[in-house]
Amino acid sequence: MLLFGTALSAQSAHAGDVDDGPFVASSQGWDLTAGTPQRVDKGVIQGSVTFERLSGAETRGGGACLVADLHRGMRCDSDSDCGSLPIPPGGWNYCAGVNGGADKICWTRPSDNCTRSPVRDPGTYYTQAVSDRVNGKKVKWITIACMADESVPTGCGSPNPELSVTATSYLLGDDQ
């Protein structure tokens, strides 16, 4: 099972602020962009990830998950800072900044609401559609995406941050 590594690192990446557009992580001729979660129905959201091949291998491993702020903006520097926080069944904790930003907080994947594969063609892929509430409460959401090193298609599940790059999306709208 791909867990999406333990560190948000990239061989080449740039954080986008509002004027710069979405954060893009780049590695070995490919770009990775996490799509901002979208409302697909009343009370239902979905995340996305786009893999763009500029050169290099024909396919890459990776995917994306929807993650929620379940810990009231708890600051962190690394995933280990979030390790002692509660995790729902099928969930996982991550330390990440919105849209690749340096201001990081602990985010939780409240269930296995991801799209993953060790073989991705260029294109856009979608997470499962899920409720915008966790335990009946509205929460803030982003999409976290990972792309594996071309030599290790399952690199997103490795604790070695050198085997993947990660991108995060903008926060789901202000209408939370």
Q: pLDDT tens per residue, the chain (176 residues)?
A: 334 433 333 334 444 444 578 999 999 999 999 999 999 999 999 999 999 999 999 999 999 999 999 999 999 999 999 999 999 988 999 999 999 999 999 999 999 899 999 999 999 999 999 999 999 999 999 999 999 999 999 999 888 889 999 999 999 965 44
Q: Which residue has the tokens 């209408």?
A: 175
Check residue 19 and give its pLDDT: 52
CA atoms 10, 13, 14, 18: torsion sign: negative
Report which secondary-structure segment, H or E, holds 124: strand 123-126
Q: Which of 130, 85, 125 is nearest to 105 (CA)?
A: 85
Structure tokens at 98: 């919105």
Please, which contacts does 76-83 make with residues 24 or more away whose CB atoms are closer than 8 Å? 76/104, 76/105, 76/106, 77/104, 78/6, 78/7, 79/6, 79/7, 80/6, 81/106, 82/106, 82/107, 82/108
Structure tokens at 46: 């979905």
